[in-house]
A and B are shown apart, each in its own frame.
Chain A
Amino acid sequence: MLLDLAPAPMTYSAMPSPPNPRRQARFVKARQAPVTQDQDWAAHMIAVRDKQDKAAFAALFQHFAPRIKGFLMKSGTDAALAEECAQDVMATLWNKAQLYDPARASVATWVFTIARNRRIDIARRAKRPEPELLDWAQDDAPDQADIYEAAQETKRLTAALADLPEKQRALIQRAFYGDLSHSEIAAETGLPLGTIKSRIRLALDRLRQKMT
């Protein structure tokens, strides 16, 4: 059914996977959402996660791999290594698909965190300790509105970033390309982040209630 949403023709057939009632239910819920380009990536990622769908993976690759390569090159990696790492990041996307939760973050955001970690691996300068993992499995039915919102956020942020004055945009990009130290980073990004913080905060409150 995912084929209906696909932006590109699919040439790889889905691999069979054992049915998982909870995952299946989430998948069906995700399909009923209004279709947009960004929502699509979440649906593709869910197909990879729940069905090891190689066609969905190929579509994700076509979109994200060139962006990961560009991101790593802007971070100072040469073209050949950046491409190799983009391939690694996409393979990680496949291998760790079970960790992807469309209500927590958009695919672009998730891809960013994997690419960032790969960049830290290349530099081999230091480890980056991660916060305690939360057991989101307790939050059994992710809110459909959350899935939709998380996907929309990347779209809105990308537009807002493009609208910033050149100097300000360059500073944010340099911060994320790993070009600035924390004392060089400005406290104000000029980006609309309030709604994203509130959405995640509400999801965390819901989770805490279920955990107690």
Chain B
Amino acid sequence: MTIRHHLSDPLLIAYAAGTLPEAFSLVVATHVSMCDDCRARLGAFEAVGGAVVESSSVALSAGCLEAVLARLGTPEPVSPAKPKGQLPTPLQDYIGGDLAAVKWRRLGMGVRQAILPTSKGAIARLLYIPAGQAVPDHGHRGTELTLVLQGAFRDETDRFGTGDVEISGQELEHTPVAEAGCDCICLAATDAPLRFNALIPRLLQPLFRI
């Protein structure tokens, strides 16, 4: 797996700072699980956080240390790492299992989706696009992050293979098409409803919360 499309610095910084909407954090955590380059970049941004903490000192009240010393107990043992599945563990936590546990809903034309439970502000969904199938062309009112978990898709900008993440802003209008040969599964997060150009998808939008 060669990843060519990575997370942007602002997304990694916001994730390091803990300010991303939960749905976006899920995409970042899942991509970082698949991509050592972005894991290293995240580590560097967390080091910036360390430097910010270093330069933010405020005096404590008396007795602060003693109170903590009094409550120190036996440290926790390390829990063993979870066995690896088809999907990265942060995503499995939201599905409640691996790929087989996803509760898909049909969107038509063989396309299926599963909305994952995240807090308000942005929506995360899994998309299943049969090989060769297109997603109706659409624009964006906010930011859309699309991470490929299986297979690949192409749109007007480039090819996105497994592990790649496409960051779409308001300027992008695209028609993603799943590559022939393998059904494509993506994790997509949006912080505003998409803008579909055709009438039928537009009418179905509220129903599918897309």
What residues of chain A have their CB less than 8 Å away from a CB belonging to chain B?
12, 49, 52, 54, 57-58, 61-62, 64-71, 73-74, 79, 82-83, 86-87, 90-91, 94-99, 104-106, 108-113, 115-117, 119-120, 125-135, 153-154, 157-158, 160-162, 172-173, 175-178, 180-183, 185-189, 191, 193, 196-198, 200-201, 204-205, 208
Contacts and interface: CB of A to CB of B under 8 A. Distances in A.
B44 to A, nearest CB: 4
Contacts of A191: 48
B80 to A, nearest CB: 8
A139 B27 CA distance: 27
Given A69-B58, A128-B25, A182-B11, A115 B40 contact: no
A176 B75 CA distance: 29
Complex A-B, nearest 5 residue pairs according to Cβ-Cβ distance, in ascending order? A109-B50, A70-B56, A108-B50, A182-B14, A70-B58
Nearest to A73: B58
Interface residues of B toward A: which range? Answer: 35 or more
B44 A197 contact: yes
Contact of B65 (A65, A95, A183, A198): A65
B52 A173 contact: yes
B29 A131 contact: yes
A66 B60 CA distance: 6
B132 interface: no
Contacts of B49: 109, 112-113, 116, 176
Contacts of B36: 201, 204-205, 208
B68 A182 contact: no
Contacts of A131: 29-30, 32-33, 39, 42, 88, 90
Contacts of B206: none
A181 B15 CA distance: 10
A95 B75 contact: yes
B65 A112 contact: no
A161 B52 contact: yes
A126 B25 contact: yes
A154 B17 CA distance: 16
A83 B121 CA distance: 30
Contacts of B71: 91
A189 B39 contact: no
Contacts of B11: 182
Given A105-B47, A158-B54, A175-B13, A97 B75 contact: yes
Contacts, number: 234
B52 A196 contact: no
Interface of B: 8-11, 13-22, 24-26, 29-30, 32-33, 36-37, 39-61, 64-65, 67-69, 71-73, 75-78, 81-82, 88-90, 93-94, 118-119, 121, 143
A68 B170 CA distance: 38
A158 B55 contact: yes
Given A116-B17, A126-B119, A200-B43, A154 B25 contact: no
Contacts of A99: 78
B121 A126 contact: yes
Contact of A71 (B10, B15, B53, B73): B53
Given A94-B72, A197-B40, A201-B40, A70 B25 contact: no
A98 B48 CA distance: 23
B9 A197 contact: no
A204 B18 contact: no
Contact of A172 (B42, B52, B53, B59): B52
B26 A129 contact: yes
A57 B22 CA distance: 34
